[in-house]
Every structure is written in C-alpha cells, then in structure tokens.
C-alpha cells in the first residue's frame, strides 16, 4: 500500500508570493488596456496652435534628411528640397501620416506573449543603451555581454515587461561591429517576447532582420511585425543617414519603428515647454511620413525621449514637472493625429538606487501613465540619465510597473455588490478580516508589494534590516538562479549560432 505524505501547509502572505515569483512558473500580464481617463492638458483650440506651429516649422524652416536617397524620395513625392533641407507641406504630411495604423500587434515566437499597442493599449519595456551597470556587488563598471544576457533574462521573467527589449546595456567587452549580433541573438534566445533590432547601420539592421527570419521564418518576417526598433532624430531638425537607412530596412518588412527626437529641453529645443513640443512633434511627424512613403500602412510610432536641462550646469534632469507637461501635450497630439506614441518611463539622473532615483522614476512614470503613452521605453533599471543600468533598480522598477499596470487598469465596479454583502455581514465596530468576502479576495483585492517593506521595525530588523537596494539585488540574484531558458527548436538555435559565428568571423573587429 502506498504511503500518502501529509499535505504541506499552504503558504500565505509575503513568503508565498516570493516563492511563487522565484519558481519557474512565469506570471504574465498582457498589454495594459487603459481603464482610466486621459489627461488632456490644454483645450483643443490651444492644441491646434501647437499643431500649426509644427506645420510652420516643416513648411517654412524645413528639416534636414542627410541622405541622398531619402532627399530624392522627398523630391519625387513633390516636396520642395534645397540640398538636404526638405520643406514638407502640411497637406502632404497629413496625407502621409494618415496611412499609418493607429494600432498594431507585435507577434512573439511564443504566441501567448504577442502584444498590441495603440489606442487604449500600452506596453512597458526595459531600459535602453547604458554603457555602465551598477552590478550585484553595488559597483559601477562597464557593462558586459554577461550583463546583457542577465537583463534579457530578467525582462523575460518580469510579468509587466512586454518586450525582451533592445540595447538593454552596451556590452563593452564585444567589439562594436559584432555587438548587434550578440545582442539580437541574446534577445531571441533568452526571451520569447517581442524584441527591438539594431539601428546603427543599414547592414546591422539587415543582419538583425535575418536573425529574426531564422527564428520566426522568412515568410513571417516579410510582412508580420515581430519587432519595434528605435529611430532617434538628432534635434534640432536632423534625420541622419544611419537612422534613415534603418527605417528603410525595417519598413520594407513591415517592422515597426519609434520616431523619437532625443529632446534636451532648453538645449536641443527652445527653452519653452510648448516650443519644445512644437519642434519635437515636427521632427517625429516627418519621420512617420518618411516611413509611410516607403511602405504605406507600416507601423510607425510617434513620440520622444525627453529630459530638461539644468540651465546652471547643462546636466539633463528627470522627473521634472515640465517633462510631465511635454508628455501630456504629446499624448494629446498623438490622439489628434491618431498615431500610437512612445515616451520613456522610469527615468532618473541619480547615480545610486536612492530616494532621488525613486522620486524621479515614480514622478516621471506617473505623468506618462496619465498622458496615455502606448509604448513606454526604459521603465526598469534606468540611472544616470541612461548611462547606467542597475540590477537592483530593474527589480524594484519591475514591481513598480506592476503597480502602475494596476493603476492604469482602473477600478472594477463589479466588486461593489459583493462588498455590500460583506457590509451587511458584520456588526458596527467589528472588522472584516474573517468575513467570507475577505477570505475570498484578500490576495487580489489590493496590491501586495514584495520589495517595498511594510513590516514593523521589529520584524524588519529580525529579518536582516535590509534596504530597498539590497532587497532588489537579492531578488535579482534569486530570479537569475531560477531562470529557465524558453524553448527554442534545436535546429533553429543551431542555425542562429551558425549565422552569428559566420558573421563574427568575417566582419573586422576594427570596423566602426
């Protein structure tokens, strides 16, 4: 007769939640479907004034497309050109951007991880581009490929991350000409979420696309959007050949692009919130229009990365009120143009995971949520105005994004009638802790953080007295220890390895 082991007691509370998070079962939050109102910061007639200012910039000042092929395309379309300067008529611009979809879907190699964005749908993505990391020993150093792989795994495990990411950090131990191969490989192998491709040259974009074709199939990538990549405008008013070449490559295969002026308010734009928005909107719209000339209907995302500049030092700032105002204005314009839009979320100029990092990131991200961004880049791990990626902050921010997700989802009015039953169940002055309603809902009624400590001082002290940074590092290590690589066909992985290896053996390391 078989021996039946007694059932282990069920774990409750923080320990149970942590055990679930550290297990191999990955929780997944689909794209956020917004359940709260947008903040429209100005009346419609004032919004039209900003729109008109943007149109006058394009018509009267013009914008440079520093690429002969691109200028020829504009000239053939009927736009006035003078060297690299292109003057775009508002009627032509509005006709072009009207062909861009207001929503699109990114298909993942795991169909359960496919996501849609635009309209009332929002995706959250990790930080982008840091050459330094604040590592597991709390030391600032150059990022490596091991760090990049770790952050790809963390993004894969984080429930509220909807993409594997792009340049999660710059692996400085890999030569620049080979770096895009290792990063694209890592994103495709260590996560089954959608990804961002390389944009640092036409060839690197093409090679990223070829690697996607190996995993998804060439016929799929030819028309189906599996990635969203970044095209930065050089503010003020320049689209350079590198970015335009990447747009040409990805647009031809219906891969989405983020048209994002890199805005330093007061330095690369006028020292004015509304002036900055008028300029960045003109720059982003010109990029969207260019992509639509290449392939009408290809997914094109309008928006920006924004920091304001400290006028006494020139240093970029995060979490300032003006950044909220800019995001709210851009969101309102995006709804006017019926375009999906992006901005950056958990940004901080702090050097440590400290109060400044928390304040700035939360301030910035709250404004983003109220503004209604559809693609939120850099929501986790971001320090030093994008120069540093922190393991601890990646975990702390991940939890914050789950809370932002719940805030953005809004309230559920279906809860009211059962709650009224609970009110009738108790006597005045009693408590609800033992009611059937509480027992049925206590795990889901209110968000219960794991990394924000709410215990008494005595309990906190008895369990180590750790600060948030230490708790974040511990969680990062536990997550990586329990990471399981998502399944990828052996033949596909072998082909991916072979492609990467062949290119690395043929591309000179000294090439820039």
What is the structure's pLDDT at 21?
Answer: 47
**Stretch 331-359: mean pLDDT, rounded?**
97
- For 165-197, write each residue's pLDDT tens digit: 999 999 999 999 999 999 999 999 999 999 999
The 3-class secondary structure across 290-338, one letter per residue, is HHHHHCCCCCEEEECEEEEECCCCCCEECCCHHHHHHHHHHHHHHHHHC
Distance CA 337, CA 334 (A): 5
Average pLDDT over residues 441-463: 91
pLDDT confidence of residue 267: 92
Left if phi > 0, otherwise alpha if psi is -120 to 50, otherwise beta: which for 224? beta
pLDDT value of residue 27:
83
Q: What is the CATH number of domain 102-409?
A: 3.20.20.480
pLDDT recorded at residue 261 = 94
CB-based burial label for 243 (10 Å; 0-12, 13-18, 19+): buried
Please determine, for residue 347, whether its predicted confidence score (pLDDT) is greater than 80: yes
| Bridge partners for 133 per DSSP | 141, 389
Mean of pLDDT values over 272-290: 97
Q: Which residue has the higher pLDDT, 224 or 266?
A: 224
Q: Which two tokens stand for residue 82?
A: 């003078």
Cβ–Cβ < 8 Å for 114, 226: no
Calculate mean pLDDT across residues 115-139. 97
Mean pLDDT taken over the chain: 93
* 90-114 pLDDT, tens digit each: 999 999 999 999 999 999 999 999 9
Are 199 and 240 in contact by the 8 Å Cβ rule? The answer is: no
pLDDT of residue 134 exceeding 90, the answer is yes
Please report which confidence band the pLDDT of residue 63 belongs to, taking 50, 70 and 90 as the band edges: very high
% of residues, the chain, pLDDT over 90: 86
| Token pair belonging to 332 | 């309102």
Q: What is the pLDDT of residues 69-98, one digit of tens each?
A: 999 999 999 999 999 999 999 999 999 999
CA dihedral 502, 506, 511, 512 (to 10 degrees): -30
Q: Which tens digits make up the pLDDT trace of 29-42?
A: 999 999 999 999 99
Provide the terminal-to-terminal Cα distance of the chain, rounded to the nearest Å. 71
Structure confidence at residue 9 as a pLDDT band (50, 70, 90): very low
What pLDDT does 6 receive? 34
Domains of the chain by residue range:
44-96, 102-409
17 burial level (CB within 10 Å; 0-12, 13-18, 19+): middle
- Supply the pLDDT for residue 30: 97
| Res 510 pLDDT > 90 | no
Higher pLDDT, 8 or 454: 454
- The answer on pLDDT for 22 being more than 70 is no
The confidence score (pLDDT) of residue 16 equals 54
Q: Which pLDDT score is estimated for 311?
A: 81
Q: How confident is the model at residue 442 (pLDDT cuts 50, 70, 90)?
A: confident
List, for residues 359-392, the tens digit of each pLDDT value.
999 999 999 999 999 999 999 999 999 999 999 9
**β partners of residue 66:** 240
Q: Is the pLDDT of residue 511 over 60?
A: yes
pLDDT for residue 25: 59
Above 70 in pLDDT, residue 2? no
* Residue that wins the pLDDT comparison between 10 and 506: 506
Q: How far apart are CA 432 and CA 442, in angstroms?
A: 10
């Amino acid at each position: 007769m078989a021996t039946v082991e007694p059932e282990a007691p069920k774990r409750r509370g923080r320990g149970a939640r942590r055990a679930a998070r550290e297990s191999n079962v990955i929780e997944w939050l689909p794209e956020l479907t917004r359940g709260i109102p947008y903040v429209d910061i100005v009346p419609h007639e004032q919004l039209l004034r900003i729109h008109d200012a943007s149109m006058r910039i394009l018509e009267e000042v013009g914008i440079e497309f520093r690429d002969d092929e691109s200028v020829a395309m504009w000239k053939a379309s009927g736009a006035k050109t003078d060297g690299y300067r292109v003057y775009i008529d508002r009627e032509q611009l509005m006709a072009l951007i009207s062909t861009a979809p207001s929503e699109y879907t990114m298909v993942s190699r795991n169909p359960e991880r496919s996501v849609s964005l635009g309209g009332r749908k929002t995706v959250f993505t990790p930080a982008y581009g840091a050459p330094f990391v604040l590592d597991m020993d709390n030391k600032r150093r150059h990022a490596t490929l091991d760090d990049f792989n770790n952050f790809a795994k963390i993004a894969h495990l984080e429930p509220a991350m909807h993409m594997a990411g792009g340049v999660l950090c710059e692996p400085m131990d890999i030569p620049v000409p080979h770096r895009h191969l290792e990063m694209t490989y890592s994103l495709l192998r260590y996560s089954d979420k959608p990804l961002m491709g390389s944009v640092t040259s036409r060839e690197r974009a093409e090679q990223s696309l070829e690697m996607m074709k190996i995993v998804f199939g060439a016929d799929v990538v030819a028309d189906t959007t599996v990635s969203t990549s970044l095209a930065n405008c050089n503010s003020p008013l320049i689209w350079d050949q590198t970015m335009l070449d990447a747009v040409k490559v990805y647009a031809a295969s219906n891969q989405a692009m983020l048209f994002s002026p890199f805005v330093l308010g007061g330095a690369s734009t006028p020292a004015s919130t509304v002036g900055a928005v008028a300029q960045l909107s003109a720059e982003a719209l010109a990029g969207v229009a260019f992509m639509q000339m290449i392939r009408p209907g290809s997914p094109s995302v309008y928006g920006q990365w924004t920091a304001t500049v400290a006028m006494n030092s020139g240093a970029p700032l995060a979490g300032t009120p003006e950044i909220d105002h800019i995001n709210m204005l851009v969101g309102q314009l995006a709804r006017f143009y019926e375009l999906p839009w992006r901005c950056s979320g958990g940004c901080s100029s702090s050097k440590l995971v400290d109060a400044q990092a928390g304040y700035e990131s939360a301030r910035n991200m709250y404004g983003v949520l109220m503004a209604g961004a559809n693609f939120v880049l850099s929501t986790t791990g971001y320090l030093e105005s994008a120069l540093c990626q922190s393991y601890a902050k990646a975990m702390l921010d991940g939890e914050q994004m789950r809370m932002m997700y719940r805030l953005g989802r809004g309230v559920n009015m279906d809860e009211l009638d059962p709650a009224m039953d609970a009110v009738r169940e108790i006597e005045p002055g009693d408590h609800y802790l033992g009611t059937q309603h509480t027992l049925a809902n206590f795990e889901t009624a209110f968000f219960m953080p794991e990394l924000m400590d709410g215990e008494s001082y005595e309990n906190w002290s008895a369990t180590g007295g750790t600060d948030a940074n230490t708790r974040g590092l511990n969680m990062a290590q536990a997550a990586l220890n329990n990471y399981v690589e998502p399944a990828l066909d052996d033949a596909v992985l072998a082909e991916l390895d072979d492609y990467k290896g062949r290119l690395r053996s043929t591309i000179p390391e000294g090439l820039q």
